[in-house]
Structure 1
Amino acid sequence: MAVAVSLNVTAQSIQIRLEKHPSNREQFAAEYLQKKLSKLGYIVGKRGKYKIYLAQAKDTTGLKKEGFTIISKENKIKVTGNDGSGVIYACNEIAERVYRQGNLKFPAQIKDAPEMVLRGSCVGLQKTTYLPGHGVYEYPYTPQNFPWFYDKAQWIKYLDMMVDNRMNSLYLWNGHPFASLVRLKDYPFAVEVDSATFKKNEEMFSFLTKEADRRGIFVIQMFYNIIVSKPFADHYGIQTQDRHRPITPLISDYTRKSIAAFIKKYPNVGLLVCLGEAIDTYDDDVEWFTKTIIPGVKDGLKALGRTDEPPILLRAHDTDCEMVMKAALPLYHNLYTMHKYNGESLTTYQPRGPWSQMHRDLAALGTTHIENVHVLANLEPWRWSSPDFIQKAVQAMHNIHHANALHLYPQASYWDWPYTADKLPNGGREYQLDRDWMWYKAWARYAWDCHRDRKDEIKYWNKVLSDYYGLKDTLNISNGRNGILAAYEESGEIAPKLLRRFGITEGNRQTLLLGMKISQLVNPYKYTIYPGFYESCGPEGEKLIEYVEKEWKHQPHVGELPLDIVNQTEAHGDRSVA
């Protein structure tokens, strides 16, 4: 017995059939495919010229998670997902192929599965200014702070974007989210929002996690440590955060119970833990992670009677991640590590040096290591989406860093989500999803498969860009790319090259496109070059001050040189507008 998704019938009609008692993800897959095919001009009905059968594999032995098989014979298409997410991604594959080729004539068999196990993007519940009486990262979930958080239609648009791009993890960044989402019996005064807002937050977070789950997306809540809520801090006469404060039984108990209540209340959520910036020593990091955070998660699971382990992700930022992980792995198995790809900018697809070694060391622990494409200080505020650069960067994540997962920041304006810096003709502000759609599409595409043939990719992006902008697919003389693709890829080399050869840091204290002072350019040491920056964030080469000194002393040069980068970036700029 099967269930049909029904509409009217025409000569170009399609029937989508589900097995009896389909899962939530299978049901979503059918709805998703119906919507996509309808938009492409087909009509989905109870009977049709084509029949598409959706099911999950009965025996998953040896099958890769989220993979799928599509078997086509005449007018029958059978989809078998390795799991519910695999069914969704198979439907995405069908819709993509129909879009590209204009029909349902597929090869006899199509098999695919993702290379990266986590492919996700983040949204910051952060602001560009501090709240009165609060420290950095401390922003309660309220309609005043984040009106967009309560916009269900906007969340559905975001989640559907993730499905279109086969992304499976959504990260929410905040300093201390628990006091906006759970109420503790022992610390009822710790809640940071009023009762009406608390109720809204419960409803919204439940809505978000439910809608994400049916799309195969795991919501992962990020938080910094050690931060407590302002009402809690005021009650006990302490600071919300203090880097030099020792761990106390009171603060540990409050945080442990907050995490347990969160896990109990929102079972489809994981945690991303930052042990940096508000905790004192590496030994404190180990103690806090193993004696407060992990026990809190276990307490929540025990209350639910669960024996599985939701994911806990540990950032390498401002901690000895390897030291913490070695202490934690005997206690909890579903752990991941995360580290910034090029720091807080995007500088190269040839990473090397001590920072790359840190990635490899974390990957060698035996857990999945995640690449964090973080902040992008050198790309702001302009749009940037170079498929060629991104594909090579993802290849480097695999081959050089030994990572197998992606965490993606917005391309610009992380602190001002959901808006870009752009103004629309009507005076409104442009949404990031509307402006930077290609940023998400490209990173997700290569997180799924970074080994796609370059010639095929040029054809793919030519069509995507031509269709998006309503242009004829007029080719540029530059390697068969149309003008828009050439502009993205040529201009996409400029900011990375300039920063890695002339900058003082990859960090967000230098927003490159705001410019540099002459003294920064000629004597970067005066402004403290960030340790490891030049050794890690680009090919071997010389700073401008080193180049001039060698020229003066008639010494041989090594690697990538400043004047070469000047010439290259000028050439990239010329080709981008050719």
Structure 2
Amino acid sequence: MLGRFQTVLLILVACSATVIAAPVSLFFDRDVSQAEFAAHDIALACKEKDLSVGLQGLARLKPLSGTQIVLADLSNNTIMDLFEKSKGSKLGTLQAEGFSIRVTKKGNNTTYWIIGADPAGTMYGGLELAEVVRVAGLKAVENVDQNPYMAMRGTKFNIPLDVRSPSYTDMCDAAQHNIAEMWSFAFWKEYIDALARYRFNYISCWNLHPFPSLVQVPEYPDVALKDVKRSTVQWKEHYDLEGTGFDAPEIINHVEILKRMTIDDKIAFWRRVMAYGKSRNVDFYFITWNIFVNGIEGKYGITDEADNPITRDYFRKSVKQMFITYPDLKGIGLTTGENMYGVSFEDKEDWAYDTYAQGVLDVAREQPGRKMTFVHRQHMAGALDIAEKFKPIIDHPDIEFIFSFKYAKAHVYSATTQPYHPGFVKDIQGEGNLKTIWTLRNDDVFYLRWGAPDFVREFIQNIPHDVSRGYYLGSDQYIWGREFLTREPESPRQIEIVKHWYQWMMWGRLGYDPTVSNERFTQILKAKYSDVDQAKLFTAWQEASMIYP
């Protein structure tokens, strides 16, 4: 009898312990991947504070029932009705990707409401709450409204797809070590997850001529490349700075196969990657330099000559096929430079319009209602003339035309104010509603784990906001893929934006909200490096980083 009583008692104690161990109920829509991502980050943050969280669907939400966290967006009328009945403070005016956090209490019941303008806003609100929990605890969460300061916050990724589809600086060690990583879903999953947490929302993939590795053009089927290859050549120290000569015989005739893939395999891979990006509010763009035909090997009479009608047709069909093949591709862009020697400005823009612009317009006719972005880099080109030439693109209701401009040339860490843009800004201000994204190019800080929030905050706030759609941060002389230099590496090796997490996080976070305080950054450091004086670490890290600027 005593033994049976003890058994029952132990069961009751266990049940009681279970109740005590799970004091927080977290409600979210399991069909919304952005909300699910944030919910799991919240659960992990609570676990670090010895709070376990029960994850539940929104349909199970009951008003005033213990401690609750609710993730939803404005379109959920049921949740909005419950929030109204909770008598919480009125939500702020939310823009795309914005969110409100509200805390309502009655008796011993507390509900933390994360209400997004859309699924992206819900995700960012959830990530904000998770961070507050991680650095200060759940009870430190307060009412807050946030909207993105810069709408587009991206990375510049010179993507080394293959020796036959190189980027601008594929001769460097960083690129050669990362060709295989570009075909690893594990890499992209970790990279995209990190970008979402840092509040970046797009990746611009830069390549000389990516089409043979990404699509099969019906009119030019033999251009598509199978397998992923890397050259085994003994690389020289210096190569042409215009991107030419990367298809020299000594390079492309001595190769190794890194991964065997058909073009259908490659398409399936990149569809999966782009779909995953969409699930984290991270869009993909492909941007090219011109005119490069690496990987063509003389097929179909395609050359790098601007007056070759076959070349024009091939590029137009390739651009169209990119959008047809990838439903989650957000945009495409180009530079009319690097390899257009002897071509007049007018002829360069004629070529760009006949190829890239017409390809996008072809898609718009074939898929009415599909929203696309067209990026024209203002480099070796004039803004006003470009605007006139591309007026059909600019005027199209389904196409957003934006410029790209080198804001700090190649040296984003040179100063918080830059002198290069006033003339360009004046030009596009006079053309109505034209906008630009800014190239924030870092060709200086690769190995140093840089981190100075005051510099980044001031830099971003000095960018002319009225003509800005956003920015993208990256390098031409380095590939921010998976690191390859650490002497005692983790396994697998860290991806660069995780190794350099502090630098990348502040460029994303302060682009979304430049009011993020130094106190918050100090708290983040404390949560990550609990065994050091975080105030001293913050100051030392910032001052050491400012040696360069």
Q: Report the TM-score range of the alignment, normalised by the length of the smaller protein.
A: 0.7 to 0.9
Aligned to 2:239: none
Per-residue CA distance 1:478-504 (angstroms, 9 max, x = gap):
xxxx333233322333323xxxxxxxx
Q: Say yes or no: does 1:311 pair with 2:376.
A: no
Map 1:164-313 to 2 at 5 A: 164-194=197-227, 196-231=261-296, 233-236=297-300, 239=303, 241=304, 245-269=305-329, 270-279=331-340, 280-303=343-366, 305-313=367-375
Shift of 1:334: 0.3
1:15 corresponds, among 7, 13, 25, to: 25
Greater mean deviation of Cα atoms: 49-58 or 420-429: 420-429
Q: Which residue of 1 aligns with 2:500?
A: 436
Aligned-residue offset at 1:26? 3.6
Q: Which residue of 2 aligns with 1:499?
A: none
Cα distance change, pair 302–229 in 1 and its aligned pair in 2 (3 A)? farther
Q: What does the per-residue CA deviation read over 1:73-126, in whole Å, with 9 as the maximum and x for residues that have no partner?
A: 12112222111111111101111221222124533x321111100011132213
> Distance between the aligned counterparts of 1:164 and 1:133, measured in 2?
30
Alignment partner, residue 528 of structure 1 = none
1:56 alignment partner in structure 2: 73
TM-score normalized by structure 2? 0.75
Pair 1:387-2:447 in alignment: no
Superposed displacement of residue 344, structure 1: 0.6
Once residues 144 and 166 of structure 2 are traced to their aligned partners in structure 1, the CA distance between those partners, rounded to angstroms, is: 54
Query: How far apart are residue 250 of structure 1 and its match?
Result: 0.8
Deviation string, structure 1 residues 222-247 (Cα, Å, up to 9, x no partner): 2222223433x4124564x3xxx333
Partner of residue 514 from structure 2, selected from 450, 471, 474: 450
Task: Give the conservation status (yes or no) of the 8 Å contact 2:159–2:166.
Answer: no
| Structure-2 residue corresponding to 1:88 | 123
The answer to whether the Cα contact below 8 Å between 2:100 and 2:116 also exists between their aligned partners in 1 is: yes
Equivalents in 2 of 1:379, 1:355: separation in Å? 23
**CA shift in 2, pair 1:164/1:344, >3 Å:** same
Q: Deviations over 1:148-205 (max 9, x none)?
A: 1222222221111111111111121211111111112211111133483423321221
Identity of aligned residues (%): 22
Instruction: Report 1 or 2 for greater relative contact order, CA contacts < 8 Å, sequence distance ≥ 6.
Output: 2
Structure-1 separation of matches of 2:328 and 2:440: 24
Deviation at 1:215, TM superposition (A): 0.9
CA distance in 1, matches of 2:492, 2:279: 33
Can you list the C-alpha shifts for 1:299-350, whole angstroms capped at 9, x where unaligned?
23443x3323311122222222342133214434401111122111121112
Residue 436 of structure 2: which of 369, 379, 387 is its match? 369
Q: Secondary structure at the match of 2:68?
A: strand
User: CA–CA distance in 2 between the matches of 1:230 and 1:416?
Assistant: 24
- Give the corresponding residue for 2:235: none
Distance in 2 between the 1:458 and 1:196 partners? 48
Q: Which residue of 2 aligns with 1:403?
A: 468
Report the secondary structure of 1:488's partner residue.
helix
Give the drift of 1:409. Answer: 0.6
Which stretch of structure 1 is more off in the superposition, 43-52 or 282-291?
43-52
Alpha-carbon spacing, 1:44–1:426, altered in 2? closer, same or farther (3 Å):
closer
- On the 8 A contact 1:192/1:229 being kept in 2, the answer is no
Q: Does the residue aligned with 1:405 lie in a helix, a strand or coil?
A: strand
Partner of 1:114: 148
CA-based RMSD of the aligned residues comes to 3.3
Structure 1: distance between partners of 2:308 and 2:499? 46
Q: Secondary structure at the match of 2:408?
A: coil
Does the 8 Å CA contact 1:359/1:402 hold for their aligned counterparts? yes
Unaligned runs of 5+ in 2: 1-17, 78-90, 228-259
Picking from 49, 52, 62, the partner of 1:43 is 52
Aligned AA for 2:67?
Answer: Y
Cross-structure match for 1:71: 102
* Alpha-carbon distance change, 380 to 80 in structure 1, aligned in 2, over 3 angstroms: closer
Count residues with an aligned counterpart. Answer: 462
| Closer, same or farther: CA 281–42 of 1 in aligned 2, 3 Å | farther
Structure 1 residues 41 and 313, CA, compared in 2 at 3 Å: closer, same or farther? farther
SS for the counterpart of 2:42 is helix
Q: Does structure 2 retain, via aligned residues, the 8 Å contact 1:26–1:88?
A: yes
What is the CA–CA distance in structure 2 between the aligned matches of 1:134 and 1:389, rounded to whole Å? 33
Selected match of 2:539 from 463, 486, 490: 486
Alpha-carbon contact 1:337-1:362 (below 8 Å) kept? no
In the alignment, the residues of structure 2 paired with residue 368 and residue 148 of structure 1 have an alpha-carbon distance, to the nearest angstrom, of 34
Amino acid in the other structure paired with 1:204: F
Q: CA offset at residue 16 of structure 1?
A: 2.2
Q: Is the 8 A contact 2:154 2:471 kept in 1?
A: yes
Using the TM superposition, give the Cα deviation of residue 209 of structure 1 relative to its aligned residue in structure 2, in angstroms.
0.6
- How far apart are the structure 2 equivalents of 1:391 and 1:369? 20
CA change 1:203–1:31 in 2 (3 A) is: farther
